[in-house]
């Protein structure tokens, strides 16, 4: 019997899952359908570099369909809702897709208009975000024109995609204005709702040290209630203020709206309620979620989708064969943190283990939690791996889903 596998979302998680499943199943065994609202696959980690003129947004975009293996059907449609009991996906102005297995990979989106003032007067003039291609491009122009003053980088609330990106943005801002010879005319302030520079203690300490070294002021426990463009100030709910000439804001995030319209599927922020080990949704056994769309206690990052992919496919195969799900995801994530001047840090961690010093993946690998040129090259090289190895669902030799401990300095 042919099984119908429907995957909602043709980004990192959806594409690599579709490709891995297509490699596993012959076409007579399973049909694989991917649905996305548009045809543009953005290499999101690259958006960080756009405002500094290091890359252009159009160079980060490729057609979604072209990243899918032969024998995968692609639909360009918005999803209206999922009928969990009837096991059908209802598309807006499109066919209804019945499924035996559904994978939700629709990611997280920014919701700038949830913050008072942010999208009012001054949006994309003095208030920006680099979390989407148009925003990053508008910011590149503003940085080019900027000749001094106060820049604030503000995270409104967690969770956000790539929690290290705002810090990288601060480090690169420091580098960028050094290169332009006007660093002494630019004040940089990092404003976060967290009680430290980062969520995990040892990395937070290292990153706070770097901020200080680079002359970036750190403001913590700031819960942004309003961004006032004309007045040039961030205002917190407890009425503290941080003035700015130019604000780079990371807006709050939500899951896809159809999740909220599908009874029982999501949480209050429209992320799919998901088992953190098996990646099975809590709504129904034949529904799974991967990547930013899931409400796991893991970072929202491409590396998470990458490591989840192998586990997810194994569990889908077991589910369709009527076996117990026994593949478990350990929360493994790793991130290069660009620190400017051609250097970067690398962090590697999971649900239990916070980032520590050492090397990845083994004792002779890349240095962890320490600035190096090698990590910077790793970050740049990764874009090639993304298109040619990660999305097609090829295994990268020596890189496994489970977090390695061999090279780590553990207490």
3-state secondary structure of 88: strand
| Ranges within 109-128 binding other proteins (CB under 8 A) | none
How far is residue 101's CA from residue 87's CA, in Å, rounded to a whole number? Answer: 8
Cβ atoms < 10 Å from Cβ of 4: 15
149, 237, 374, 402: which one contacts other proteins (CB under 8 A)?
237
Among 2, 27, 96, 223, binds other proteins (CB under 8 A): 223
Are 74 and 96 in contact by the 8 Å Cβ rule? The answer is no
Interacting stretch for other proteins, rule CB under 8 A, among 45-53, 151-159, 286-294, 376-384?
151-159
Closest Cα to residue 109, out of 300, 296, 307, 276? 300
Please report how many Cα atoms fall inside a 13 Å half-sphere around the Cα of residue 189, on the Cβ side. 20
Among 158, 377, 380, 399, binds other proteins (CB under 8 A): 158
Q: State the Cα–Cα distance between residues 303 and 102, nearest whole angstrom.
A: 22
Residue 373 CB: number of other CB atoms within 10 A?
A: 11
Pick 42 or 252: Cβ nearer other proteins:
252
DSSP state of 161: B
Residue closer to other proteins (CB basis): 300 or 359: 300
Q: How far is CA 194 from CA 68, 154, 155, 224, in A?
A: 39, 11, 9, 12
Query: Which is nearer to other proteins, 163 or 309 (by Cβ)?
Result: 163
- Does position 380 bind other proteins by CB under 8 A? no
Q: Which is nearer to other proteins, 136 or 249 (CB)?
A: 249
d(CA 408, CA 410): 6
Q: Which is nearer to other proteins, 151 or 162 (CB)?
A: 162
238 binds other proteins (CB under 8 A): yes
Q: What is the x/- site pattern for other proteins, positions 281-310, by CB under 8 A?
A: ----------------xxxx----------
Write each residue from 181 to 200 as x if it is in contact with other proteins (CB under 8 A), else as -, in one continuous string.
------------xx----x-
User: Of 81 and 300, which has the nearer Cβ to other proteins?
Assistant: 300
The residues with which 345 forms a beta bridge, in sequence order, are 337
320 makes contact with other proteins (CB under 8 A): no
In the complex, the smallest distance separating the C-beta of residue 354 from other proteins, rounded to whole angstroms, is 12
Distance between CA 160 and CA 165 in Å, rounded? 9
Nearer to other proteins by Cβ, of 269 and 399: the residue is: 269
Question: DSSP assignment of 162-187, as one string?
Answer: STTHHHHHHHHHHHHHHHTT-GGGEE
CA distance 205 to 250: 22
**Tokens encoding 297:** 């206690």
Question: Using CB under 8 A, which of 51, 107, 122, 159 touches other proteins?
Answer: 159
Q: Which of residues 69-98 bind other proteins (CB under 8 A)?
A: none
User: What is the C-alpha to C-alpha distance for residues 367 and 268, in angstroms, rounded to an integer?
Assistant: 39
How many binding residues for other proteins (CB under 8 A)? 20
Report the residue number, 221 or 342, with the smaller CB distance to other proteins. Answer: 221
Q: Would you tell me which residues interact with other proteins (CB under 8 A)?
A: 157-159, 163, 193-194, 199, 221, 223, 225, 237-238, 252, 267-269, 297-300
């Amino acid at each position: 019997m042919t099984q119908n596998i429907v995957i909602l979302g043709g980004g990192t998680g959806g594409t690599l899952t579709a490709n891995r499943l297509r490699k596993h199943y012959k076409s007579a065994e399973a049909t694989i359908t991917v649905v996305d609202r548009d045809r543009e696959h953005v290499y999101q980690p690259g958006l960080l570099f756009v405002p500094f003129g290091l890359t252009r947004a159009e160079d980060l975009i490729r057609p979604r369909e072209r990243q899918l293996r032969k024998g995968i059907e692609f639909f360009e449609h918005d999803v209206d809702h999922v009928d969990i009991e009837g096991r059908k996906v209802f598309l807006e102005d499109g066919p209804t897709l019945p499924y035996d297995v559904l994978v939700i990979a629709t990611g997280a989106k920014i919701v700038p208009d949830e913050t008072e003032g942010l999208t009012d007067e001054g949006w994309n003039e003095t208030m920006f975000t680099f979390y989407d291609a148009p925003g990053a491009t508008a910011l590149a122009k503003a940085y080019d024109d900027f000749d001094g003053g106060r820049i604030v980088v503000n995270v409104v609330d967690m969770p956000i995609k790539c929690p290290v990106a705002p810090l990288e943005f601060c480090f690169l801002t420091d580098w960028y204005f050094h290169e332009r010879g006007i660093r002494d005319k630019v004040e940089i302030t990092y404003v976060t709702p967290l009680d430290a520079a980062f969520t995990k203690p040892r990395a937070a300490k290292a990153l706070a040290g770097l901020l200080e070294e680079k002359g970036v002021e750190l403001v913590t426990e700031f819960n942004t209630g309003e961004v006032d463009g004309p007045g040039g100030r961030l205002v917190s709910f407890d009425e503290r203020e941080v003035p700015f000439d130019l604000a780079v804001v990371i807006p709050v995030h939500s899951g896809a709206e159809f999740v909220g319209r599908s009874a029982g599927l999501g949480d209050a922020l429209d992320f799919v309620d998901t088992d953190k080990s098996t990646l099975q949704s809590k709504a129904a056994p034949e529904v799974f979620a991967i990547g930013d769309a899931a409400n796991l206690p893991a970072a929202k990052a491409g590396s998470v989708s990458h490591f989840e992919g192998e586990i997810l496919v194994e569990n889908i195969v077991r589910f369709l064969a009527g076996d117990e799900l026994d593949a478990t995801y350990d929360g493994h994530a790793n991130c290069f943190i660009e620190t400017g001047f051609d250097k970067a840090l690398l962090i590697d961690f999971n649900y239990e283990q916070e980032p520590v010093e050492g090397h990845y993946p083994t004792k002779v690998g890349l240095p962890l939690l320490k600035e190096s040129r090698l990590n910077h090259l790793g970050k740049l090289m990764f874009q090639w791996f993304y298109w040619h190895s990660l999305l097609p669902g090829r295994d990268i030799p020596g890189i496994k889903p489970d977090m390695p401990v061999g090279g780590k300095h553990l207490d």
